[in-house]
Structure 1
Amino acid sequence: MAWLVVLLSAANTLFWYFIWSAYLMFKKGTFSFLLIFLFLACSSEKNTFTNRAFHNLTSHYNAYYLADTKINEVKKEVRNKYKEDYTQILPVFIPIDSATIDSNEEVLENARELASKAIEWHRISKWVDDSYFLLGQIDYLQGNFDDAQNTFKYVNVNAKDNDLRHQTLVALLRLYVDLGEYEKANFTIDYLSKEEEISDANRYELYRTLAYYYESRDDLNGVLGALDKALDYEQDKKEASRINFILAQRYQRSGLDALAFDYYKKALDGNPPYERSFFAQLYAQQVAELNKSKDLKKVRNYYEDLYKDPKNKDLKDVVVYEMALFEEKQGDLDRTLELLHQAAKEPGSNPRQKGYIYQKLAEINLDQFRDYRATKYYLDSALTFIKDTDPVAIQIQEQKEMLDQYVFHVERIEQNDSLMTLAKKSPEEQRLIAETYIKSEEERLLREAAEAQQPQSSSIFDNLLAFNDRGTTSSFYFDNSLVMQQGAIDFRRNWGTRPLQDNWRRSAVSFQDANPTIAAPSETDSVSVEEDNPLNQLPDIDELLGQIPSSPERLQALDLELEESYFELGKLLFFELKEEEQSITNLETVVREYPESSKKPEAYYLLYLAQKDLGGNYEQYSARLNREFPDSRFTFSVNNPHAASGNLAYLKSSEEYAKAYDAYYGGNYSQSKSIIRGALESYPLTRNTERLMLLDIMNTGKTESKANYRAELENYIANSQDSALVDLARNMLYPLLSEEELASLNPQKDTQSDSTAVNPDESTEQNVDIDLSESPYKVNNSQTHIFVLAMEPSQAETAERLLGDLENFHAKNFSNARLRTGNMNMSRENAIYIISPFTSADQAKKYYEIFVKEFKSENLPQEIINSSFFISIENFQTLNKSKNLDEYRAFFKSAY
């Protein structure tokens, strides 16, 4: 801002110079000459030095300056109103909130008017193109993307200032990414890569926009590289802190804890907001120490201290949630659930955190208990805290589609079955059941009131203990919610629901004043007594009895609904939830209770498939189909499991498979599953069936938990007859297996090298001495190091057992080192596996020496093992920018 102060001072000085000159000329009688001079200078028709100077000055520090200031004010408000969600990977750019833009419509229109005046009134000034750029920015903020694009293109073509052109091209690149026009974005990137003398400010925005481009394409390595470059040009320390936090999050998600720790520490620099500091410290402790600590008491004390810290009063839900995740890793499921329920009740500054808590509860209920109803309702709760536009919300909605159908049919079966059972009872029995139900609801309300009356401990862990009579409840009636609740229930039992009025006990109420002595609450009252009364939750007995069906038509309608729900639930359990036994139960209900059902042939067929999967008596359903429905397409499918390749069913199912495959690779997993289900129902038991089922499992791997994914793969491997598909499924299963399971499947090979083994000391690479002082890499033996194994992406794909072999190698040789393995694509040419952390170069060197001599892995050439290296964290950041592995290997051989 110093330059702006100088320029404004100069403008001020020039203004007073004109005033002083006018005063002198007035004294000398030449004031009229000065007025003519100023009039001529104001003209935008003449392009003289005086005219240009005047218009440059007035345009820049009047219309343009004010318009730019107003635009920046709106951008600042967008940033300030955005609530960062540090539990998720932060976006490169803060999203533009349309509500904030709409509320600032008048400000932006004022800025548009000023920028337009700068163009119209000062046509010969050098700020015309800059003013057009402001107009493009306003259109972009307001979502007028076509106008913004045209304006940016105009400025790029007509602007003479290279800095402005580069600034405009970067803005245009971001717009192309917003619109998903990646071909145009690629062209813009290529054009900018050939431009010279790009200013530091523009380079910073360019690399940030490149990171945004790679973010939108799910290219992790591209995001990392672009953000690393952006840091070289960032002048704002708070923004640098945010970028470092993003890099740390992405490295942590990739399993590269050593790198994540380094960036979390950097994120603490630059006086960041307290919440970012809190999460940076929390996650840095996780990747550095907590997840590896054997001292459980130390870890729990760490979380307890965070919980008690007054500065974290708005982050207590985060602390308890992280504690729950820690206890989950210790295998204490009961403790995990208690802490998650506690976290849902704790105060927090980020509503989305509550959504993630409920999402975790849903995940546990699904994976551990297979409780689909609880899972559905927890996901419903999660969506009340997460915006519909969030990617997490979209993912939950896709997962919930199936669960919504499940719960709908389960609850309809329960409700209709209960109503039909009640309909068969006498009126007296119906009334007795209704009264018993109301009494049970009263008891439930009492229990809830008692729980609310329990004293709260100040400790996070004491809060989870059952009430142990520490402290006493209040003796004052209106302070004791339990006593008030009991009194209200007793009153209702004795006197029913009565309005607030005097003499309410008299039977002849008509003789009393019709107007109650105590006025009813008005609409303006802040609290309504009736609304707060928990007894309003109790149903009326006549209302309950009115729900019981009495007419034959109503009973028939309920019965038809039952038939539909049993059948649809059976299909859902078989195809979507892979619950064959429950599916059989529901489908057998259909064929037993509804012998004339039109759904009976398909029910027989699904029972045939389910029993076959379970190894049961599936032939009985084949016989029933042939006896009862000889002309059904389901009977044909059972009788012809290996239909000829040229038949219509095979061709049609092949078309459906292609559609499902395209949807899968387009990321539309829910759509892919829907296509697969339709194909399996319409064209069952073709030669495509097993291909469709494996593709369905691949969709499961993208949308559901690892436990479900693994279970389906194991079931497929056990039942599939296609050896090629079984091998493919095994390759998908290996990364999900534990170290012990991998070892049992593939015992450790003899690691002693034979006479044909390549000696690591005789590597094909040349030992090239380089001048270390001129290298971009620096020797720092005391810094944390990581070990790198680099190869082509195709080699990484063929080395299927590499991760498992690395884990076995570590267990055998470095069992106490707590080493971690992660992998990433450094570039299109190189995929790398990273083993970390090593606290010094000496430790890394010991690992390296043992590794090159003893490590073996199927399909991994020895030359890749020999070309491995270790590198300090600081040097890795340099390498990740340059991507030049050969350059670092030369440094490695000379330095180590």
Structure 2
Amino acid sequence: MPTPLYRYSFIALFLLTGLFSCTQHSTAPANVAFHNVTSKYNALLQAREIMGEAEKTLFANRQDNYAILLPVLMPIDSMETKQVEKDLTAIIKKSSLVAERHQNAKYLPDAYVLLGKARLLQGDFKNAIETFKYVNTNYPESNARPDALIGLMRAYTEQDEYRSALRVAEVVRNLPLSKEQTLTYYLTKAYLHELNREYAIAAAILEESLPLMKKNEKKARVYYALGQLYELTSKPEKALEKYASVQRSRPNYDLSFYARLNALLNEPNTDPKVSFNKMLKDRKNADLQDQIYFAMGSFEERRGRIREALPFYKQAASRATERPEQLSAIYLRIADLSYEPLQEYEAAKMYYDSTIALNPRSLPNLAQITEKKKVLDAFVEHWKVIKTEDSLQRLAAMNPTQLDKYLETYVKQKKEKEAREKQIAEEKAARAQQEQILASSGMQPDNVQASNAWYFYNPASVQRGRQEFQEKWGTRTLEDNWRRATKETSLNPEAVAAARNANSTQSGSGNVTEVKLSPLQQEVETLKKTIPFGPDALVESKKKQEYAYYELGKIYRLGLGENDKAIATFEKLLALFPATQYEAETLYLSYLASEGTPRQNEFKNRLFQKFPESYYVRLINRSSLTPLTAGAEAAAQNLYAQAYEAYQKGEYANALTQTEQGLKQYAGNALEDKFALLKTMLVAKTENAEAYRKALTVFIDNYPSSNLVNMAKEMLTAAKGK
């Protein structure tokens, strides 16, 4: 059907109007209409289409970790968004064209919102926030303002600025929103509360969002996250309902699989072991066996059977080696259980190490995990020192004959263990090599009978043969006459004599034969060098133990919060080392650790009796003091002035009396450190140099935050110089 002439006339008129009135700063109706149409159907339309394709690509290629709480929205990761970097650059370019060429178009704020979203996906949070704020400030009546504020919420959330995000959410809540904007707002707010660990609030918001969503994979994903949130808020019936809804919302296979797993864990009064075993045998789940074992471990853990859960978790870890994100979550679970409730800190440290080594981006609390790992690193280091030095001291107390036998047995067992481990590793490598060779030749390993294959085509057989040969004959050079029985006679007689003479030396008039040590004996002698023979070495060994006990007690108290174990460790330190230099601090930390128990006064009394002048006594006194009145403060100032004047006049006895009165009467006062330093200066006038140096050292230890510490250090340096 031919196009009516009036349409051509309208198009021509529109183009002519655009040519004669295309300035972007004019408010003339024709001019504004031209820029509206051009911006909407040119750069802006293209930018929106590119953004839609980029979002589809990111969703399709996402790497969800279903082993942990699934985030409602996919966290923005600049590494992941590199796959659509060209698209984001194009969006920024095209939306910027609208801002540059169509300043009077009503779609300008929409272009700015697209620009902000592209920057947000790039991880450029600073510029994204500035762009969204610009739209909010300059276009308060625009339909794009809610989109800008929702984008601002998301940017703050990604940077863990939850309070700022909540303030923006309150503004959005009072704005008129379209259906699409309402859905985006709900999902963004639920994501914010989920990351802030407000799981009940997040679940309630997600319930509101579901009716607004179409039945597709995105909705299935939200159902799954909602099921997890209900699990975390102890609502297994609702969790079960949401996992069932996942199956009705067109999920992909992995999402469906995990929903079935989690549903099995929440079924009341059922034992899902039969179902788990069926899933293990299903070939479609071959690459998901790690998660089946993980679910089996979760089943045992939920019933309080932690020891029974750990083997399943370890099975899961052994099958997840190709998926670092999943493996890190499994390692973390084992580490957390080893840490608490099992309190097996060495094992926990190893698994935290493994978790962090995988550099998992999906774990939200990686900073806390890293901090906990540092504490356990120090704990295990000191714990090993105690065990090692204890063993070495016991060896030092053995008689020489018993010691030699013990060390020889230890070295033999160690070598046998290393040989077994090496053999197992080599056999695994040989099997892998054989499978690779067969696969490259198009043959399946299961279809090849070892008995029909030539010996030297089977790497595993060759490896076993090599191992058997070395066990019987040792490591031999490939040469003729290699066997021990015939080798010596086949050699040149002169070479045999030279070899014999090399094993002995002549000294003086008699023949003193020094036989070369065997490898076993050499290793025994090397081990002996680490044993603390003699009083000096034993003292050094015990010093290492003393310090390790002290540090271990502090870690129990300050790092792990294990007060009972801290007290037990400190008491063992005091029992083994009665004259320890750490006694005052040990008693003080025991006093803190025993708060609310009858033993607190016991530790306090011991501290006050043995170390009445210590910094820790003053700390306890300060905590029980009420602030001084203005009159008392003035009296303290006056007393210090009198004491210092007496010191300057040489009235040292009078000055000392006033100083001690001030320390006792005004403990915790701002002048306390001045009284203490003045007392130290009086020691210089009334006692010997050694007492003065010791008093300065005590002052520096007792008042580490005082403004007078630097002066005291200078005085100590001068005193040591003299």
Aligned partners of 2:248 and 2:579: how far apart in 1?
A: 74
- How many percent identity over aligned positions? 26
Q: 1:21 deviation in Å?
A: 9.5
Of 100, 109, 113, the residue aligned with 1:129 is 109
Aligned residue number for residue 597 of structure 1 = 580
Range 172-181 or range 239-248, more displaced: 172-181
The one-letter amino acid paired with 2:20 is L
Q: 1:152 deviation in Å?
A: 2.2
Aligned partners of 1:590 and 1:486: how far apart in 2?
A: 58
Aligned residue number for residue 259 of structure 2 = 280
1:338 matched to 2:311 = yes
Aligned partners of 2:450 and 2:149: how far apart in 1?
A: 69
Aligned residue number for residue 380 of structure 1 = 353
The one-letter amino acid paired with 1:545 is T
| Contact residue 314 and residue 348 of structure 1 kept, 8 A | no
1:222 matched to 2:204 = no
1:441 matched to 2:423 = no
- 1:518-573 alpha-carbon deviations (Å, 9 max, x no partner): xxxxxxxxxxxxxxxxxxxx999669928935999988765533321132224445
Compared CA separation, residues 455 and 562, structure 1 to 2 (3 A): same
Compared CA separation, residues 650 and 250, structure 1 to 2 (3 A): same
Aligned partners of 1:21 and 1:286: how far apart in 2?
A: 66
Structure 1 unaligned segments of length 5 or more: list them: 1-12, 23-32, 457-471, 510-537, 654-896
Q: 1:329 deviation in Å?
A: 5.5
Q: 1:147 deviation in Å?
A: 3.2
Aligned residue number for residue 700 of structure 1 = none
Q: 1:49 deviation in Å?
A: 5.8
SS of 2:143's equivalent in the other structure is helix
Aligned partners of 2:299 and 2:581: how far apart in 1?
A: 52
| Contact residue 119 and residue 128 of structure 1 kept, 8 A | yes
| Contact residue 122 and residue 128 of structure 1 kept, 8 A | yes
SS of 1:313's equivalent in the other structure is helix
1:385-424 to structure 2, matched below 5 A, reads 385=358, 387=360, 390-417=363-390
Higher helix share: 2
1:292 matched to 2:282 = no
Aligned partners of 1:539 and 1:66: how far apart in 2?
A: 77
The one-letter amino acid paired with 2:136 is N
| Contact residue 404 and residue 524 of structure 2 kept, 8 A | no
Compared CA separation, residues 34 and 306, structure 1 to 2 (3 A): closer
Aligned partners of 1:445 and 1:52: how far apart in 2?
A: 80
Aligned residue number for residue 287 of structure 2 = 314
SS of 2:287's equivalent in the other structure is coil
TM-score (norm 1): 0.53
| Contact residue 453 and residue 473 of structure 1 kept, 8 A | no
Aligned partners of 1:171 and 1:223: how far apart in 2?
A: 18
The one-letter amino acid paired with 2:269 is K
Aligned residue number for residue 648 of structure 1 = 622
Q: 1:387 deviation in Å?
A: 1.9
| Contact residue 67 and residue 326 of structure 2 kept, 8 A | yes
Aligned residue number for residue 518 of structure 1 = none
1:40 matched to 2:15 = no
Aligned partners of 1:585 and 1:490: how far apart in 2?
A: 52
Aligned partners of 2:531 and 2:265: how far apart in 1?
A: 63
Compared CA separation, residues 122 and 477, structure 1 to 2 (3 A): same
- 1:467-492 alpha-carbon deviations (Å, 9 max, x no partner): xxxxx998947747598368348638
Aligned partners of 2:343 and 2:170: how far apart in 1?
A: 51
1:563-578 to structure 2, matched below 5 A, reads 563-573=546-556, 576=560, 578=562
Of 213, 225, 240, the residue aligned with 1:234 is 213
Aligned partners of 2:38 and 2:592: how far apart in 1?
A: 82
Aligned partners of 1:183 and 1:398: how far apart in 2?
A: 25
The one-letter amino acid paired with 1:440 is E
Aligned residue number for residue 666 of structure 1 = none
Compared CA separation, residues 493 and 131, structure 1 to 2 (3 A): farther
Aligned residue number for residue 717 of structure 2 = none
The one-letter amino acid paired with 1:414 is K
Aligned residue number for residue 163 of structure 1 = 143
1:548 matched to 2:529 = yes
- 1:614-637 alpha-carbon deviations (Å, 9 max, x no partner): 999x98x9998789x454649969
| Contact residue 317 and residue 344 of structure 1 kept, 8 A | yes
- 1:586-609 alpha-carbon deviations (Å, 9 max, x no partner): 7545654x5553124455677899
1:151 matched to 2:131 = yes
Compared CA separation, residues 51 and 223, structure 1 to 2 (3 A): same
Aligned partners of 2:132 and 2:595: how far apart in 1?
A: 64
Aligned partners of 1:133 and 1:611: how far apart in 2?
A: 58
The one-letter amino acid paired with 1:262 is E
Aligned residue number for residue 361 of structure 1 = 334
Compared CA separation, residues 447 and 154, structure 1 to 2 (3 A): closer
| Contact residue 265 and residue 299 of structure 2 kept, 8 A | no
Aligned partners of 2:128 and 2:591: how far apart in 1?
A: 61
| Contact residue 318 and residue 343 of structure 1 kept, 8 A | yes
| Contact residue 85 and residue 350 of structure 1 kept, 8 A | no
Aligned residue number for residue 70 of structure 2 = 90
| Contact residue 335 and residue 349 of structure 2 kept, 8 A | yes
Aligned partners of 2:241 and 2:232: how far apart in 1?
A: 14
| Contact residue 566 and residue 589 of structure 1 kept, 8 A | yes
Aligned partners of 1:86 and 1:417: how far apart in 2?
A: 46
1:199 matched to 2:175 = no
Of 302, 307, 320, the residue aligned with 2:275 is 302
| Contact residue 163 and residue 199 of structure 1 kept, 8 A | no
SS of 1:561's equivalent in the other structure is helix
The structure with more radius of gyration: 2
Of 32, 36, 40, the residue aligned with 1:60 is 40
Aligned partners of 1:150 and 1:173: how far apart in 2?
A: 12
Q: 1:378 deviation in Å?
A: 2.9
| Contact residue 298 and residue 309 of structure 2 kept, 8 A | yes
1:340-739 to structure 2, matched below 5 A, reads 340-347=313-320, 350-366=323-339, 370-385=343-358, 387=360, 390-417=363-390, 432=408, 435-436=411-412, 438-445=414-421, 448=424, 476=455, 479=458, 481=460, 484=463, 487-488=466-467, 491=470, 545=526, 548-549=529-530, 559-573=542-556, 576=560, 578=562, 584=568, 587-588=571-572, 591-592=575-576, 594=577, 596-603=579-586, 629=610, 631=612, 633=614, 647-651=621-625
SS of 1:314's equivalent in the other structure is helix
Aligned partners of 1:400 and 1:249: how far apart in 2?
A: 27
Q: Which has the higher contact order (CA 8 A, sep 6+)?
A: 1
1:69 matched to 2:49 = yes
Aligned partners of 2:303 and 2:427: how far apart in 1?
A: 29
1:266 matched to 2:239 = no
| Contact residue 245 and residue 267 of structure 1 kept, 8 A | yes
Aligned partners of 2:69 and 2:473: how far apart in 1?
A: 59
Compared CA separation, residues 440 and 62, structure 1 to 2 (3 A): same
Q: 1:409 deviation in Å?
A: 0.7
SS of 1:96's equivalent in the other structure is coil
SS of 1:98's equivalent in the other structure is coil
The one-letter amino acid paired with 2:299 is F
Q: 1:375 deviation in Å?
A: 2.7
Compared CA separation, residues 187 and 430, structure 1 to 2 (3 A): closer
SS of 1:232's equivalent in the other structure is helix
| Contact residue 478 and residue 484 of structure 1 kept, 8 A | no
| Contact residue 358 and residue 381 of structure 1 kept, 8 A | yes
Compared CA separation, residues 47 and 163, structure 1 to 2 (3 A): closer
Compared CA separation, residues 591 and 386, structure 1 to 2 (3 A): same
Q: 1:116 deviation in Å?
A: 1.9
Aligned partners of 2:56 and 2:247: how far apart in 1?
A: 22
Compared CA separation, residues 202 and 607, structure 1 to 2 (3 A): closer
- 1:402-432 alpha-carbon deviations (Å, 9 max, x no partner): 4333211121233445566778969978984
